[in-house]
Every structure is written in structure tokens, then in C-alpha cells.
């Protein structure tokens, strides 16, 4: 595997950053996870745009244009023959001191990894996930805003530990007011009366790119789509629940906190939208070449 590191494609063994990099020392940086399907990079412009918005929010100046970044992603995929895979795009603050001052870091590090990912076994896409809600509260928007896709994922990791300890694959995090926000790495949707409902961005969520695609596909298919604050009661009494994310794509949820969702099986709306998503991802994107 070749890794893109600051303008060069280097062997995996040579892809190294300093122990003084603020990305390592403090989680000071931003990233994107991107998928490629059928030789095309999916929603590349949207991912790059979000990367730059995240960087701006933390006062991190990325030393290349958006177009150059997109070109580097495609080049890395082509070099590694990642026609159907996963791309991790990372920008760290760069080498600095042991102090917190980010402006002592002069040169951000740009890293692109193009490989493979398998988040969930195929049987879970067919049969659905059992998940739980956890005590780890989602970051307050005025502390570390969840709209910033930063390298500091400790909030999510603590919730993931609770999921693992609860013998489930995923966990739902509540916000500081007790409303549903999102899963540790995915957005959440419920279906009620044929309508698609998901928490709004101000609930303390990352505005997922897969989330936005699914909402548009649902709207185009004639479903009512709403962004509404929701609580655990709403989840328990939903007709259907599913998660969306770059790595997870669209996966059904059939049990939350030992409460069966609907009839305890993936629902027809979830199956319909999953099929529409599968069809869509293979027809759009930037060609790898």
C-alpha cells in the first residue's frame, strides 16, 4: 500500500509523522472518511468541502486548494487500485511543542490512506442490529461542536466502550438535554407512519453526507422527511429504525435497549431506501481513472 504524505506517495512503512505532531499529542486535526464504488469516489466534493469547513472552525489553514486535495485523493486511489474501498483523509496541525499553543505548529500534515473497510458483517445488514443507549453524553455544541469532524474522537470512543461492554455493535448517544443525537459513528433515522424522521443538526450531530443523500433519496421517492428532536420513547415506539454512515452505509436496527423495533425485523421502508442507496452509489462520483 502507498500512503499519500505531504505531496508524495510513500510505502506504508515509510509513512511516519513526528511524535511532536499535535494530531498525536492533542487530537488536533480534522479528517474525512470517504468511499469509492465501481471505480468512482463517492461524494468527493462534499467530503472535501466538509473537511475545509472543519479546518476553518479550528483555525487550521490547509496548505493546498480543494481541487488539489480532490486530485490527491483520486491519485491515491488509483495508485492503490482502490476502486471499491475506503479512503481516510487526515490533516493534522503538524509538528509543534509540548505546549497547547497550536500556532507553534508551522506546517500541517496531509495524509491520505486508500484501502478497505468492513464495519459490520453482512448478516447484520440482512437481520438488523441490536443497539443500546449509553450514559456518555454527546459533546456540548459549545464545547467541541460535533459538526467539526476532528481527530479528537474520545467522546465517541467512550460511548463505543459502553456498547462493547453491553455486547452490542453500536450505541446511541443522547445530548446534554437528554434528546437523541447520533450513534458513535453514524446518524440515526426512525420511520413512523411512513415518514422518515432524524434529529436536526442542532441536536448535536455531525451532518453526515450519507445522511443527506438518504434524505434526498427518500424525498425523491415521495416519503415525508422531517428533522425533529426525539427521545428514547420515540425510538422505542418507531415502526423502523436504521443508521447511516460512510462506512456503515445504511443498516437496519431491530432492537434498542431490549425493546423490539416494530416487528423486530428490518422494515420495508428501510429495505427500500437501502436498495435505492445501493443503486445510487454505483452511478455517481469522481472517476478514479
CA dihedral 215, 221, 223, 227 (to 10 degrees): 10
What is the residue whose three cell numbers read 452509489?
281
Q: What are phi and psi of 138, to 5 degrees?
A: -65, 145
What is the residue whose three cell numbers read 443527506?
212
Q: What DSSP character marks residue 28?
A: -
Q: What are phi and psi of 66, to 5 degrees?
A: -60, -40
How far apart are the C-alpha atoms of 134 and 203, rounded to whole Å?
16
- Short-list 174, 182, 160, CA closest to 253: 182
CB proximity list for 130: less than 8 A, separation 6 or greater? 168, 169, 253, 254, 255, 256
How far apart are the C-alpha atoms of 68 and 31, rounded to whole Å?
16
How far apart are the C-alpha atoms of 208 and 122, rounded to whole Å?
22
By annotation, the residues acting in catalysis are 149
Given strand 29-37, what is the order of strands in its sheet? 8-11, 2-5, 109-115, 85-92, 29-37, 40-41, 286-287
Amino acid at each position: 500500500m502507498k500512503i499519500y504524505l505531504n505531496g508524495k506517495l510513500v510505502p506504508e512503512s515509510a509513512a511516519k509523522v513526528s511524535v511532536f505532531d499535535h494530531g498525536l499529542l492533542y487530537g488536533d486535526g480534522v479528517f474525512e472518511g470517504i468511499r469509492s464504488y465501481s471505480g468512482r469516489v463517492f461524494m468527493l466534493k462534499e467530503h472535501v468541502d466538509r473537511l475545509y469547513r472543519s479546518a476553518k472552525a479550528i483555525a487550521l489553514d490547509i496548505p493546498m486548494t480543494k481541487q488539489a486535495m480532490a486530485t490527491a485523493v483520486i491519485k491515491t486511489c488509483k495508485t492503490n487500485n482502490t476502486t471499491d474501498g475506503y479512503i481516510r483523509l487526515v490533516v493534522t496541525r503538524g509538528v509543534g511543542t509540548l505546549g497547547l499553543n497550536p500556532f507553534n505548529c508551522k506546517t500541517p500534515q496531509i495524509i491520505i490512506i486508500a484501502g478497505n473497510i468492513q464495519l459490520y458483517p453482512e448478516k447484520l445488514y440482512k437481520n438488523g442490529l441490536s443497539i443500546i443507549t449509553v450514559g456518555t453524553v454527546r459533546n456540548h455544541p459549545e464545547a467541541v461542536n460535533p459538526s467539526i469532524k476532528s481527530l479528537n474522537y474520545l467522546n465517541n470512543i467512550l460511548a463505543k466502550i459502553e456498547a462493547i461492554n453491553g455486547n452490542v455493535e453500536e450505541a446511541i448517544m443522547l445530548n446534554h438535554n437528554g434528546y437523541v443525537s447520533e450513534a458513535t459513528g453514524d446518524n440515526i433515522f426512525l420511520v413512523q407512519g411512513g415518514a422518515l424522521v432524524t434529529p436536526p443538526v442542532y441536536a448535536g450531530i455531525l451532518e453526515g453526507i450519507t445522511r443527506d443523500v438518504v434524505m434526498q433519496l427518500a424525498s425523491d421517492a415521495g416519503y415525508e422527511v422531517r428533522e425533529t428532536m426525539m427521545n428514547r420513547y420515540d425510538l422505542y415506539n418507531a415502526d423502523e429504525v436504521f443508521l447511516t454512515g460512510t462506512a456503515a452505509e445504511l443498516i437496519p436496527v431491530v432492537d434498542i435497549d431490549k425493546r423490539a423495533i416494530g416487528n423486530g425485523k428490518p422494515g420495508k421502508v428501510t429495505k427500500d431506501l437501502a436498495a435505492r442507496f445501493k443503486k445510487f452509489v454505483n452511478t455517481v462520483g469522481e472517476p478514479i481513472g
